[in-house]
Amino acid sequence: MRLVTITAIILVSTLFAATPAAAASGPWQALPDVAPAPADNPTTADKVELGKMLYFDPRLSSSGNVSCFSCHNVMEGGDDHRPTSIGVHGHVGGRNAPSVWNAAFLSSQFWDGRAATLEDQAKGPPANAIEMGMPNLDAVIGRVRNIPGYKPYFEKAFGAGEVVTMDNVAKAIAAYERTLITPNSAYDKYAKGDAQALTEQQVRGLNTFADVGCTSCHQGPTFSGPPLPVGTGFFMKFPTFPDSPYVTKYDFLSDTGRASATKDDADKNVWRVPGLRNLVYTAPYFHNGQVHTIGEAVRIMASTQLNQSLSDAQVADIVAFLETLSGPFPTQQMPRLPPTPGDLID
């Protein structure tokens, strides 16, 4: 587990105060226009096309009616707006669905960081009993192989031969997800030097965000922590101040966080730091989806992580700044999926 020391937190926090004139040369970082891809899975148009098909295809689930899209709606916020997601046969999951938008920039995936890469993450939900409900990954790829129309798309993306594999399913979905990024927000323009991109209140909120210490954790282009090697993850204990009244009110301690994946008591209530982009699209908030407004989330974080009580004016300013992190979404066309054989799903 990689945790930032208190000294490092203080140093990082003091770096981030900015004025419009300092934005271009200061530490505020714009989101890149292209997401990075690993050497063994370069992004290609053919892979993206196949990955989009698989992402939208509910036949990867045991019931034939749950897809990646079911919980990560890319027609809007990349999530499902439920406190926790509903999978096959009405099963209810234990955590709020993270947005898929800009997940390509994270150094680990899932709330507990248990997947190092988008490719690893893509293999998780299909064989999860609550989410997509297939008994194992062999059953998943068996289902895909039994849809004859898929093979030409796999060969186009990966070459000839036995290319309809689970690894290639994951690679294709990950390639598609690396196109789901939202650069060029008002904040991004400001970070690149356009001092007029933000209003006076939004700039005040940006500086308040830094001054009170939010940048201790929420930094970097996605505001999910500093850029780190893939698989490293940027984790923090939440709540840091468990005596905050918000902890009981919103039941923040019942889920042990990263410890549920690592089985290490030292990881109890430790979480991957979530990004803050497109928050206006992704309510409800936090790992259990119990908080419904950005303003309340700001108050909670100030209390539970910084042991501070913010004024209404400070909260309003920070919310105004956070709203500038919503960028334009790429234009998308719904995929056409191969036909279903009559005996594919019982």
- Secondary structure of the chain in HEC code, one letter for each residue: CCECCHHHHHHHHHHCCCCHHHCCCCCCCCCCCCCCCCCCCCCCHHHHHHHHHHHHCHHHCCCCCCCHHHHCCCCCCCCCCCCCCECHHHCECCCCCCCCCCHHHCCCECCCCCECCHHHHHCCHHHCCCCCCCCCHHHHHHHHHCCHHHHHHHHHHHCCCCCCCHHHHHHHHHHHHCCCCCCCCHHHHHHCCCCCCCCHHHHHHHHHHHHCCHHHCCCCCCCCCCCCCCCCCCEEECCCCCCCHHHHHCCCCCCCECHHHHCCHHHCCEEECCCCCCHHHCCCECCCCCECCHHHHHHHHHHHHHCCCCCHHHHHHHHHHHHHHCCCCCCCCCCCCCCCCCCCCC
- Residue 14's domain comprises 6-30+183-325
Q: pLDDT band at 11, cuts 50/70/90? A: very low
User: Tell me: the pLDDT tens digits for 243-295?
Assistant: 999 999 999 999 999 999 999 999 999 999 999 999 999 999 999 999 999 99
340 part of a folded domain: no
Domain count, the chain: 2
The CATH number assigned to the domain holding 58 equals 1.10.760.10
pLDDT on residue 301:
98
77 part of a folded domain: yes
36 part of a folded domain: no
One domain for residues 163 and 76: yes
Distances (CA, A) of 12 to 4, 70, 213, 285: 10, 38, 9, 25
Last residue of a domain, one of 159, 177, 195: 177
**Average of pLDDT values for 312-324?**
98
pLDDT on residue 293:
98
One domain for residues 142 and 66: yes
One domain for residues 162 and 114: yes
One domain for residues 194 and 319: yes
Which residue of the set 119, 131, 177, 296 is catalytic?
131
State if pTM tops 0.75. Answer: yes
User: Tell me: the pLDDT tens digits for 93-104?
Assistant: 999 999 999 999
pLDDT on residue 15:
41
**Catalytic residue flag (residue 119):** no
Query: Which residues, other chains included, contact 183 with Cβ-Cβ below 8 Å and sequence gap of 6+?
Result: 30, 31, 32, 33, 327
One domain for residues 136 and 234: no
One domain for residues 314 and 238: yes
